[in-house]
Amino acid sequence: MFNKATTPLLRAVLGEVRESVSQDEIGARTRVASKILEAATEGQVSPDGLRQIGHEALSRAPTMWS
């Protein structure tokens, strides 16, 4: 599990990245959360790095139009 400093960081980064995503876009929101958690589990705990990973996941998230 994550330490006490990492958990609030993950919540903050996730919140920042998902601000631009409608709450109705559950798939995109889930993908972003999953990729951020995956990166943190692999040791990526830099706020900028996690934001980048989250934004990349968001830009590559499938939509019903693609």
Q: What is the tens place of the pLDDT at every residue in 7-27?
A: 999 999 999 998 988 889 888
Residue 47 CA to residue 9 CA, distance in Å, equals 7
* Single pTM value for the model: 0.85
Give tens-digit pLDDT for 46-63: 999 999 999 999 888 666
Q: Provide the H-helix boundaries in the chain.
A: 6-18, 26-41, 47-59
Q: CA-CA distance, 66 to 63, in Å (whole number)?
A: 5
- With CA atoms as reference, report the closest residue to 35 among 12, 16, 63, 10: 10
Q: How far apart are CA 8 and CA 30, in angstroms?
A: 18
